[in-house]
Amino acid sequence: MSKIELRLTDVQPPTPEAKRTIYRDIANLPSTVKLGLTIRYFNHDDESLYFQITGSGTGYTFGTVNLGSLASGANAYKNLDEFASRAKPSAGDLPSGEMEETITLTLKAYTDSGYTNLKWTFERTITIHWINSEDATFTLDEEDNFDDGTVQGWATSGPWAGTVAVATDYVLSSPYSLKNTRQHTGGVPSTYTTNVYKQFTTPNKDKVFAIIDMRLGRGSASVNHLSNSILKDSDILIYINTPPYNKWIRHVVPLPKNTTLTITIERNVNWQGSPDYSYLWLDDFKIISK
């Protein structure tokens, strides 16, 4: 086993981690697109090490992030927001609405806080699978844009559920988005989970994708989103550690065909005890197939 390791799932070493693919949709993206992801890195060495992450790929510009010290035997999650960028592929770059490319993530471990004495390097190749959801080869099977003034079947439940309703403060397509609001009225600090979900039956097609555009917000720093996940039933498809606020983020996930399933957006939130709010917005949700 390598002395350091980089993973994109919660699969524990020494169990091998399967090939990872990141799915992206070019529809309505800006001319320069950003890539963020959550990594999990491991120190199997017998001493504390200072970790650093960067990457490479044709047409990409990557940042370099110093992750700090990690003790022997320990592991940690890190969300790399806007870690890389590239020019948005054109529709012509995606024959039949799809294209694949690869990027390489490079994890380095140093013995010093100045990141000068390199001890270990670990590389991981990731497939980027681009789709164009507006391509004529895809069928639009579901579109939830909430512009009829209803929540279109989305719901929330449980003691920490909050409310779901249409909203106009942040939208991708006017006049409405879906907004989940959790109000904190004061009390003992706690960590809680809020779920927003809907059940679907997927079409009997070989390729099925869900496109999920969402945004997180909060009243103040007394509320912290510890993580944000997208689940298919109980399976975690996307996990973001300490997700960013006040920006729309797109997630694309493949789904099984001809299956009834529930898609859940799960927020794990830490609340410090003073009256406050946490928010989730969702707009222009789509399921497409071919």
Kindly write down the DSSP assignment for every residue of 23-54, as one continuous string: EEE-TT--SEEEEEEEEEEEE-SSS-EEEEEE
Give me the domains of the chain, ranges plus CATH numbers. Answer: 4-131 (2.60.40.10), 139-289 (2.60.120.260)
Please check whether residue 181 is in contact with residue 169, taking contact to mean a CB–CB distance below 8 angstroms. Answer: no
Tens digit of each residue's pLDDT, the chain (290 residues): 789 999 999 898 999 998 999 999 999 999 999 999 999 999 999 999 999 999 999 999 999 999 999 999 999 999 999 999 999 999 999 999 999 999 999 999 999 999 999 999 999 999 999 999 999 999 999 999 999 999 999 999 877 889 999 999 999 999 999 999 998 777 778 888 999 999 999 999 999 999 999 999 998 888 899 999 999 999 999 999 999 999 999 999 999 999 999 999 999 999 887 788 999 999 999 999 99
Q: How far apart (Å, rounded) are the C-alpha atoms in residues 195 and 272?
A: 20
* pTM higher than 0.85: yes
For residue 33, the one-letter residue type is: V
Token reading at 142:
């579901």
Going by C-beta distance under 8 Å and a sequence separation of 6 or more, which residues neighbour residue 118?
A: 108, 109, 110
- Listed residue (176, 212, 178) closest to 280, CA to CA: 178
Token reading at 124:
């991981």
